[in-house]
Amino acid sequence: MKKSPGFTVHDIARLAGVSAMTVSRTLNHPEKVSPEALAKVREVIARTGFVPNGMARGLRSSKAKLVAAVLPTLVGPVFQETVRALSQALEERGYQLMIGQSGYDTSREDALLDAIIRRRPDGIVLTGIMHSPEGRRQLLASSIPVVETWDLTPTPIDMLVGFSHERIGQSVCHYLYSRGYRHPVLLSANDDRARRRIEGFQRMSRTLGQEPAPTHLVEAPTTLNSGRTGLAAILSAYPQTDAVFCSSDLQALGVLIEAQARGITVPGQLGVVGLGDLELAASLEPALTTVRIDGTRIGRTAAQYIVDRTEGRSVKEPILDIGFEIIERASA
């Protein structure tokens, strides 16, 4: 996609009819600028797509050897494999990784992106594809190589390594149906990616001639406790439930614990499916059926894309769908 031209502070000052010092104060100390001048400068910045550079002018021609990664959460284990592989692959090539937490709120992501872009890293790795118009504009205007991950779209900001959440939902629904489950319930986070898994699940339900599965939503990121409380709420509202599809393996562990506490046999009375295939999944009793995402491949590919672009090499496959795999174990 076409990037915005590289405007300077002096260009913005000329277009706004103010001094370069006023532009600098607008960017760094807006409280020291008159409301009239502030409005003029901000209007020109919005119109031109100007992205200020937070690094000293003398450093602009040198490579920072720094890549920034933006994650929705730093405590959830589901992204750890990707981050570990990304960090290792970058380190092997002489780059360092900086990590920021955006939460599941686009306004927080916008503020974080603004701070990152000002520091001019060599690349930015994002989790997901759902960004605000302002965030997308900032990234396009920056001309910094960007890799979106853990999602799929034919129109990425720049490059993408991911998979389809809709197809995960469809595949898990078909899997449960093929194993004889007829009353599944979705225990799901409320973020955009989880909602697309719900949509895929429901679409497959209709294709199979089934009623759409009930959904119990919880705040992202999902936790072990949200699995326990979620199953309790599900069984109260839908006592005929015979399977639960969870938004994470950690949440599925909570479901297994709650089922055991209630004397519910798994998979005899209840099938349980997780997402992520964490190391603990195979060691649980019963072992957890889950959706395997190759986080290592995502991380290493994202690193290679950034380094190739930064060092002037072309990226032959800028949109890569790595797919996923349902790992069948005893829980379903």
User: Which domain CATH number covers 309?
Assistant: 3.40.50.2300
**What whole-number distance in Å separates Cα of residue 256 and Cα of residue 258?**
6
Residue 61: predicted pLDDT = 40
pLDDT for 243-278, tens place per residue? 999 999 999 999 999 999 999 999 999 999 999 999
Check whether 60 has a pLDDT greater than 60: no
**What whole-number distance in Å separates Cα of residue 5 and Cα of residue 125?**
22
- Do 316 and 252 share a structural domain? no
- Do 158 and 169 share a structural domain? no
3-state SS class at 217:
strand
- Do 41 and 31 share a structural domain? yes
Cβ atoms of residues 255 and 246 within 8 Å: yes
Number of H helices, E strands in the chain: 11, 12
pLDDT for 235-249, tens place per residue? 999 999 999 999 999
Cβ atoms of residues 150 and 127 within 8 Å: yes
- Counting every residue, how long is the chain? 332
Residue 328 in domain = no
- Do 249 and 178 share a structural domain? yes
Residue 53 in domain = no
3-state SS class at 278:
coil
Residue 216 in domain = yes
Average pLDDT over residues 76-94: 93
Residue 6: pLDDT band with limits 50, 70, 90: low
pLDDT for 291-310, tens place per residue? 999 999 999 999 999 999 99
**Owning domain of residue 194:** 165-292
| CB neighbourhood size of 108 (10 A) | 15
Q: Which residue, 86, 89, 134, 88, is CA-closest to 114?
A: 134
Residue 83: pLDDT band with limits 50, 70, 90: very high
**What whole-number distance in Å separates Cα of residue 150 and Cα of residue 32?**
42
Residue 63: predicted pLDDT = 63
Residue 116 in domain = yes
Tokens representing residue 234 in the block? 């599900």
Tokens representing residue 203 in the block? 């679409």
* Window from 137-146, 179-188, 194-203 with minimum mean pLDDT: 137-146
pLDDT for 33-53, tens place per residue? 899 988 998 888 888 878 766
Q: What percentage of the chain carries pLDDT values higher than 90?
A: 71
Residue 307 in domain = yes
Question: What total of structural domains would you count in the chain?
Answer: 3
- Do 120 and 143 share a structural domain? yes
pLDDT for 196-243, tens place per residue? 999 999 999 999 999 999 999 999 999 999 999 999 999 999 999 999
Give the burial class of 311: count Cβ atoms within 10 A of its Cβ; 0-12 exposed, 13-18 middle, 19 or more buried. Answer: exposed
For 168, phi then psi, to 5°, come to: -60, -50
The more confidently predicted of residues 59 and 329 is 329
- Do 248 and 306 share a structural domain? no
- Do 272 and 304 share a structural domain? no
- Do 121 and 105 share a structural domain? yes
Average pLDDT over residues 133-158: 93
- Do 23 and 66 share a structural domain? no
Q: What percentage of the chain carries pLDDT values higher than 70?
A: 95
Residue 227 in domain = yes
